[in-house]
Amino acid sequence: MSAVNAESSASGGGTGGATSEANTPSAGIVIVGAGQAGLSCAEALRSGGFVGPITLLGDEATGPYHRPPLSKAWLAGEMDAAQLAMRAPQMLERKQISLRTGVRATAIDRAARCLVLENGERLPYSGLVLATGSRPRTLPLPGADASGVLTLRSRDDASALSEGLARCAERGLPLVVIGGGFIGLEVAATARKKGLPVTVLEAAPRLLGRVLAPALSDWVADLHRSHGVNLMLGVQTAHIAAGDDGRVSAVALADGRSLPAGLVLLGVGAVANDELAAQAGLACERGIVVDACGRTADPLIVAAGDCTARRLDDGTLLRLESVQNATEQGKSAAAALLGQARPFTATPWFWSDQYDRKLQMAGLSAGADHWVLRGQMDGGSGGFSVCHYRGTQLLAVDSVNASKDHLLARKLLDAGVSPTADQAADTAFDL
């Protein structure tokens, strides 16, 4: 493998790629965060021709692993640790990627080009990647510190949740989920498969109100109710009660009702881990502000994944939390450090598995003024899609058990091609 051209440099938007020093074999690139984005960046650096040291830092005890199964297959006991791992240690060794686990970064010394670790160690860098991810949002609820009140982000979180569900199953205790987002609903579905009583509390008048059309929100609600979930919408949580042993025993609502609980999951969104960047003087607004290539205002520092907020051409910020975004931003960030421009502009897509249904979303439906249904939303096992339009422009397609529609929608949106609403609604029309 030859070194990348030391004369290349990135440009645009007041940001730039790393200096030629980052392309020399003696220089090192440090990646903070050993998740999807960090791993993607490390591997893209190697495949892109970087021959210097690459250090991948993770604050967890394990190497890179898949997070989406944590609320589904892993929690259900259908996946083991080997299946959860993204890369075996030997694979990273073969690519000469140095993985350090259980390591926390506390500061960036931009003047000295050093990363400061919790133990006081200083790691010099010629290029720095911030792939610090996000953490579960918390609620200022009295009693939220009781034993058995959990969040879900990491493998350790999922293991604690699994143990809690097992305890509930043994004692016939219910799970209460606060928050009707994807994580909460996926855990609710998994718990119902295990036979546990489940209540989902959502403060908004409908589920997933920011991302789904009302009709699809109602469909998701009906799906959970049909599986026995006690779904309560438009309710406010007042406090969490605990027994004499310090364990959660009930969730009290603002209207005076009290719900028994053997376990509580807080699923009210996520917050970008941007503190390290903010303390270093980098622009942060709901995440580390980057351009389409993952570049910050510092030409030696890029960022990727859930910790970022991408500045769009119109000046607005877009924050995405998805495997696709982490993977592609990681590749874009690597290219930026190699002096290349690889903007991530593909249609965003997401998915969620609940019971025997797979919800797949392509595009962003915000700004849509009407939608059409493709297929039958009848509660049966057949597939259907909801196609979102602004005027005549197709913005997004949400598909349930309709993977072909989803894949075609991604291609249409990437190409800027919009079938008419009548064509989209006609299942005989070949998308």
**How many Cα neighbours within 13 Å face the side chain of 196?**
29
Distance CA 418, CA 16 (A): 35
- Say how many C-beta atoms besides its own lie within 10 A of residue 179's C-beta: 24
Report phi then psi at 303, rounded to 5: -145, 155
What does the alpha-carbon distance between residue 413 and residue 411 come to, in Å, rounded to a whole number?
6
Q: What is the maximum alpha-carbon separation in the chain?
A: 69
Query: In this structure, which amino acid lies at residue 401?
Result: N
**CA–CA separation, 392 vs 376, rounded Å?**
22
345: Cβ–Cβ under 8 A, 6 or more apart, which residues? 292
Q: Which of 316, 369, 361, 325 is nearest to 345 (CA)?
A: 325
Beta-carbon count within 10 A of 37 CB: 32
Predicted confidence at residue 272, as pLDDT, reads 98
Please report the pLDDT score of residue 382 as a whole number: 75
Under 8 Å CB-to-CB from 245, ≥6 apart: which residues? 147
The pLDDT of residue 378 is: 78
pTM: 0.92
Q: Along the chain (431 residues), what's the average pLDDT of each consecutive run of 10 residues?
A: 29 37 61 98 97 97 95 93 92 96 97 96 97 96 97 96 96 97 97 97 95 94 97 98 96 97 97 98 98 97 98 93 97 98 94 96 95 86 91 98 97 97 96 92
Handedness of CA 4, 328, 320, 393 (dihedral sign): positive
Cβ burial of 344 (10 Å; 0-12, 13-18, 19+) is buried
Dist. CA 39–CA 131, nearest whole Å:
9
The residue length of the chain stands at: 431
For residue 23, what are its two tokens?
């392309």
Residue-level pLDDT at 7: 29
Q: Give pLDDT, residue 380.
A: 60
